[in-house]
Amino acid sequence: MKPLRLGTLRALSAAAMTTILALPALAQQPAQNAATLDAIRSRGSLTCGVNTGLAGFAQPDSQGRWQGFDVEYCRALAVALFNDANKVRYVPTTAQNRFTALQSGEIDVLPRNTTATLSRDTSLGLDFPATNFYDGQGFMVKASLGVSSAKELDGATVCVQPGTTTEQNLTDWARASNIKFTPVIIERLEELVSAYVAGRCDAYTTDVSGLAATRSAQPNPGEHVILPEVISKEPLAVGVRHGDQRWADLVRWTHYALLAAEELGITAANVEQVAASDQRPEVQRMLGKTGGLGQMLGVDNLWAVNIIKAVGNYGEVFERHLKPLGIQRGPNAQWTQGGLQYAQPFR
């Protein structure tokens, strides 16, 4: 046998060292994937990042209890883990600090009207397992301005939050439309809305759902007009840290449970009766009678029953929080009704 040359030995040594260094990372991967679930269970409660205050989505009521469409996702996840919707600590986050709060572990999950994008999915190290609201960016002006189209905003001042897709979309749209504008950039939502109401800017731009929420909170909503143009796609999604697959799975399938319940006619009022008597195979699997699907997610097999009993189905959550603001289902209708909301199969 020929002796190995020095260069060959060095190459083999380097390859072996690379393999050895990789082994701890591979060995740690399952632990990392389970980190969030384990931490929440050990702590005894879920830490949920929400908006600082957006009507219909996340806002404390007069008694300090958080209410809203996004809040219901926090409650649903707490039910899945503890069968107790109150085991949640809400952390108000701004557009600027929301991602840092999630990356650092200050919060476990971010259901905060946040748009899923490629750069957020990759460079920020986040995952968006559940798109719970399909939206688009628009403009709102005071009726007294006499504007009926966004194309009439040339030369206008526009209120916008920094560090958002909204700010980027506004710049892209204005350039493409050959429209000049002066941005009024304010981080905190309450201060931004106050600036718009006080007349510091001619228009306010954000997701159309956010415009509807802001308009509904004004003393005279009819004094404000949401213009017809929608200038972007805004898939608002629930965010988690990248690489934490077990936690992402539970977030994803909690959303699908809400969607599937609506599609299958299961409500907060009838879920226990349906679980006891409905023989449809998918209903039996989803509601924990067969298949052991909850166990696959690391929770009780009755997790979906408990969630639906606590918060209702997707349609009930929408009706309770968003319909009063005048927000229609639109793309958030079930796929059977021409919408984009579509639960993957429970099997």
pLDDT band (50, 70, 90) for residue 163: confident
Show the CA angle centred on residue 163, arms to residues 162 and 168, nearest 5°: 85
Residue 12 has pLDDT above 70, yes or no: no
Q: Is residue 145 part of a domain?
A: yes
Give tens-digit pLDDT for 46-95.
999 999 999 999 999 999 999 999 999 999 999 999 999 999 999 999 98
Q: Are strands 126-135 and 156-160 parallel, antiparallel or unpaired?
A: unpaired
pLDDT band (50, 70, 90) for residue 20: very low
**Residue that is written with structure tokens 């946040």 in the block:** 114
pLDDT band (50, 70, 90) for residue 118: very high
Residue 187 has pLDDT above 70, yes or no: yes
210 with 258, same domain: the answer is: no
Show the CA angle centred on residue 55, arms to residues 50 and 56, nearest 5°: 85
150 with 180, same domain: the answer is: yes
Please name which of 118, 121, 54, 140 lies closest in space to residue 90, comparing C-alpha atoms: 54
pTM (whole model) above 0.85 = yes
Identify whether the C-beta of residue 304 lies closer than 8 Å to the C-beta of residue 286. yes
74 with 195, same domain: the answer is: no
Give tens-digit pLDDT for 168-185.
999 999 999 999 999 999
Cα separation, 265 vs 259, whole angstroms: 10
The pLDDT, as a whole number, for residue 34 is 56
The pLDDT, as a whole number, for residue 35 is 87
Give tens-digit pLDDT for 35-46.
899 999 999 999
Residue 155 has pLDDT above 60, yes or no: yes
Residue 15 has pLDDT above 80, yes or no: no
Tell me how many domains the chain contains: 2
β-strand partners of 156? 181
The pLDDT, as a whole number, for residue 4 is 39
**Residue that is written with structure tokens 């209120």 in the block:** 159
Q: Which of 183, 201, 232 is the last residue of a domain?
A: 232
123 with 255, same domain: the answer is: yes
**Residue that is written with structure tokens 């802001």 in the block:** 214
Q: Is residue 28 part of a domain?
A: no
- Residue 309 belongs to a domain with what CATH number? 3.40.190.10
110 with 259, same domain: the answer is: yes
